[in-house]
Amino acid sequence: MRIAHVLLTQRFAGTERHVLELAAAQAEAGHEVTLVLRRKAARRATDAIACRVDRRVGVVLVPDWLARWPAVPMARRALRRLAPDVAHAHLGSACRALRGLDADCLRVATLHIGYFAEQHAHLDGLVAIAPWQLPTIPGPLRERSVQIDNWTLPRPAAAGARDRIRAQLGVGEREFLFGALGRVETEKGMDLLLDAFQTARPPDARLAIVGQGGAWEALRRRAEADVAMPGFVARPEDWMAAFDCFVSPAREEPFGLVLLEAMQSGLPVLATATAGASHLGGLIGRPLLPPGDGAALAQALSRVAAERPPRRDYPLDGYRVEAKAEEVERYYLALRARTLA
């Protein structure tokens, strides 16, 4: 099949990792895969997207200047030139780019956040990443949609990464390092984590909040000097190796790819009961906390710091990209037979 993924964001994060890994797995399976990106996604920056694309995946860059949504019509024009069998959109602007494509092109999108009529109602089908999303899709479109879990890949940390990063942060050998990793935005709850940690102040414990976002500057001003906030990092697996416990303090989390990444590293996980974490609760194996409850989070941090739970192996064989890419391919074929017959 000729498959075109459309992703019109600028910076590399969880959704972008999902798209690039799916595209690479589809190319590995023998499909002709192209990724349509905004030109800004190819800029010289540590969080750029284009430099991370698998060499077997084609890349088309579209302009993103002047008009309010300039990348949308330019992406649509690029798709018409590519004439794919499947156009697969990721997030809002990309979904809008699929509007009005020729009838012989299957138009689908992944619900990385949730269902929004303006973005998704005109599409042929949707891929939900968590079961809670399916009931939010209107009936006729829901019948043409599917739920396929997110995935993770084994990514060994670099040799010596744990000792190097902990030395860089000044974390002592006997100190317990709590870590959070993700976008620093309101919905991710990093402010709640900072306040809870600075309230609880567990003995012999430190905190690192890794990631960048719109709330980073304000959070950095509130953080005490011994709280590490390095911003975006190119190798999150190295930081996972440095942590002793992973914390997800999110107010909202549709799935929580980073939860799988933490479990891939064997970390004990402390998470709020978002929709995504609740879906993975059986794997996490630790009671989930009420979202937005700073007092409960502070108590949990103190409890975990006292317990110092060890790393462990999680049963993640069902969350591998190869199996999930096969599920996506079967969905394309079934939906194409149903929609384009």
pLDDT by residue (tens digit) across 70-100? 889 999 999 999 999 999 999 999 999 999 8
What is the residue whose two structure tokens read 């391919």? 329
The whole-number average pLDDT for the span 55-66 is: 89
Report the SS3 class of residue 187: helix
CA-CA-CA-CA torsion sign (286, 291, 295, 301): positive
Which residue in 248, 242, 244, 195 sits closest to 222, CA to CA? 195
pLDDT tens digits, residue range 227-284?
999 999 999 999 999 999 999 999 999 998 899 999 999 999 999 999 999 999 999 9
The answer to whether 181 and 212 have CB atoms below 8 angstroms apart is: no
Long-range contacts of 42-46 (CB under 8 A, 24+ apart): 43/10, 45/11, 46/232, 46/234
Q: Are 37 and 122 in contact (CB under 8 A)?
A: no
Instruction: Tell me the two tokens of residue 21.
Output: 């890994």
- Residues 125/42, Cβ–Cβ less than 8 Å: no
Write out the two tokens for 44: 């010289």
Banded model confidence at residue 338, pLDDT cuts 50, 70, 90: confident
- SS3 percent helix, strand, coil of the chain, rounded to 5, is 40, 20, 40
Other Cβ atoms less than 10 A from the Cβ of 218: the count is 11
Share of the chain above pLDDT 70, in %: 98
Cβ(90)–Cβ(112) under 8 Å? Answer: yes
Cα 92 from chain centroid (whole Å): 15
The structure tokens 């990464």 sit at 161
Is the pLDDT at 40 greater than 70? The verdict is yes
- Spell out where the chain has E strands: 2-7, 32-38, 58-62, 86-90, 106-111, 125-128, 146-147, 176-181, 205-210, 228-231, 245-248, 269-271
Q: Which sequence spans correspond to the domains of the chain?
A: 2-151+320-339, 161-318
> The tokens of 145 are what?
């949609």
Dist. CA 292–CA 191, nearest whole Å: 10
Q: What is the dihedral of CA 87, 130, 256, 108, to 10 degrees?
A: 10
**What is the third-level CATH fold of 2-151+320-339?**
Rossmann fold (3.40.50)
Q: Are 77 and 100 in contact (CB under 8 A)?
A: no
103 pLDDT above the threshold of 90: no
Task: Average the pLDDT over 27-35 and give the result.
Answer: 98
Residues in a beta bridge with 289: 272
The reply to whether 161-318 shares the fold of 2-151+320-339 is: yes
- Cα Rg, the chain, nearest whole Å: 21
pLDDT of residue 256: 87
Determine the pLDDT at residue 311: 97
- CATH fold of 161-318 reads Rossmann fold (3.40.50)
Q: How far apart are the first and last CA of the chain?
A: 16
Is pTM beyond 0.85 here? yes
Task: Tell me what the pLDDT averaged over the chain comes to.
Answer: 95
pLDDT tens, position by position, 175-221: 999 999 999 999 999 999 999 999 999 999 999 999 999 999 999 99
Structure tokens at 49: 């997207």
> Closest Cα partner for 129 from 333, 324, 326, 337?
324
pLDDT at 104: 82
Distance CA 181, CA 211 (A): 6
Q: What amino acid occupies position 252?
A: E
- Token readout for 76 is 């649509």
66 pLDDT above the threshold of 80:
no
Instruction: Band the pLDDT of 64: cuts 50, 70, 90.
Output: confident
What is the rounded distance in angstroms from the CA atom of residue 282 to the CA atom of residue 131? 14
Question: Which of 153, 151, 109 has its CA nearest to residue 133?
Answer: 109
